[in-house]
Amino acid sequence: MAKRALLSVSDKTGIVEFAKNLIDLGFEIVSTGGTKKALEEAGLSVIGVSEITGFPECLDGRVKTLHPKIHAGILAMRSNEEHMAQLLELNVDTIDVVAINLYPFKQTILKEGVTLETAIENIDIGGPTMIRAAAKNYQDVAVIVDPADYEKVVSEYKAEGCVSKETKFDLAYKVFEHTSSYDTLIAKYLREQIGKELFPKDLTLTFEKVQEMRYGENPHQAAVFYKETGACEGTLPAAKQLHGKELSYNNINDTNGALDLLKEFDEPTVVACKHANPCGVGTGKDIYEAYMHAYEGDPVSIFGGIIAANREIDAKTAEELNKIFIEIVIAPSFTKEAIDILTQKKNIRLLQLDNISKKPLKNDFDMKKVMGGLLIQQRDVELYDDENWTVVTKAQPTEKQIEDLKFAWKIVKHTKSNAITLAKDKMSIGVGPGQTNRVMALDVAIKYAGEKAEGAVMASDAFFPFPDCVEAAAKAGIKAIIQPGGSIRDSESIEACDKYGIAMVFVGMRHFKH
């Protein structure tokens, strides 16, 4: 039997050159539709699938290759004498190379305004069937779904007269990765269209590799960064790096923490993070003032951290940023002068992220891998319900204190629990993250705030079951507290607040972050 290759690709990158090489190696080329036309326009001899099957393409091209003369030629095991005898009896030729990439379903659904009907028409049926068949029979068939593999297949044929079993096995593995991702995208799209349950019985997810990293959290851990399929607008994978070496595992994790918090604010805001915890947050009439407020809040902790801003970085702000060591600055844009100033530092990374303030969706998965399983929850996109805002003490917060309480509540929401945030004049002055209890967290926050704690407000991510936090806050001069409330012992903390003249607000919503 003559060697045959079946070529049918949506992405025609390199297909003409690949076909020419195969013809030079003695292959007959079988093809369909647009691929056949492209090869013939390049002057190549091509056998149409219909010539083999004796059956025309039909149903607007929905049925072309779904035929025994195609699939028997792919699936017949060459080492099985009965298989080969049946091919002779049925007048079926073997197919030795299958090069197919699928209808562009992903590209289709990412287009603005695409209809369900259009999306459905871009679900490939014959393509996945053929490449899965070829992958199943990998011992005898080289199957290619990635144009980058054309050269390897040709070079092995030229050198050895065949493709090695190891290479064919690797190509077969790629097929099932490819079809798995393809089907996952389809399932996700259809689930979203019909509003099916958020958490299906069997969940499949697909991500695309962005970069391999030198290491993970520690040098002995291998790591890689994947992105969700799609535009990822307003998220870190969509950022454009303007300067500096590639991001590390910890850089990405920390920057993501800064972005999460930044999205809580609409006014000009700067967030500084270290180890994914906020250590300085400030707002202002412009980004320079916001940065100065964030810096004034906690200059020691910002050293070596991540700076995220929701307005353009100008030269004045860049001059201030250059005064301390910062790993990353991420913003929607930078003036040319700011870039000239900041790029004087070789090790700083500058990231530009369009639509940086885009709010996350509630039904966007928040995932955490555990040994043997995966924890999934809805993203925490709420802050509190205005109807549940309740002042529970004799002392009433002033309008200014209410502004600061709301500001502090946004920060504590994105601080690792147990968490305490101190704020004054809409800037953080002390953050106590990740302690084993709230008294220890408050001690940390007060230590950084120092004398600025006098007259400040405090936010806690969980209720106070005992009055000890109130007593410590009073001693530091804190005048108002915001917390979820809901403890059976709320009366004790309320009584302590009344004793010290502190205003306390319950919001009825908890924001644990672990």
Q: Catalytic amino acids?
A: 136, 275
Show the CA angle centred on residue 362, arms to residues 359 and 367, nearest 5°.
105
Contact 323, 342 (CB under 8 A): no
Cβ burial 118-144 (10 Å sphere, 16+ → b, else e)? ebeebbbebbbbbbbbbbbbbebbbbb
CB atoms within 10 A of CB 492: 16
Contact 452, 299 (CB under 8 A): no
SS3 of 65-83: the string is CCCHHHHHHHHCCCCCHHH
| C-alpha to C-alpha distance for 355 and 231, rounded to whole angstroms | 12
Amino acid in position 16: V
The rounded radius of gyration (Å) of the Cα atoms in the chain is 31
In sign, the C-alpha dihedral spanning 371, 372, 375, 376 is: positive
In sign, the C-alpha dihedral spanning 274, 276, 277, 280 is: positive
The four Cα atoms 299, 305, 311, 313 give a dihedral, to 10 degrees, of: 80
Cβ burial 352-387 (10 Å sphere, 16+ → b, else e)? bbeebbeeeeeeeeeeeeeeeeeeeeeebeeebeee
The four Cα atoms 52, 53, 59, 62 give a dihedral, to 10 degrees, of: -70
| C-alpha to C-alpha distance for 267 and 310, rounded to whole angstroms | 8
| C-alpha to C-alpha distance for 79 and 408, rounded to whole angstroms | 72
* Token pair 């353009």 in the structure block, residue: 312
Contact 69, 53 (CB under 8 A): yes
Between strands 365-370 and 269-274, the pairing is unpaired
Q: Which residues pair with 4 in a beta bridge?
A: 28
Give every CB contact of residue 261 below 8 A, 6+ residues apart in sequence.
Answer: 271, 273, 278, 281, 308, 410, 411, 413, 414
| C-alpha to C-alpha distance for 50 and 328, rounded to whole angstroms | 58
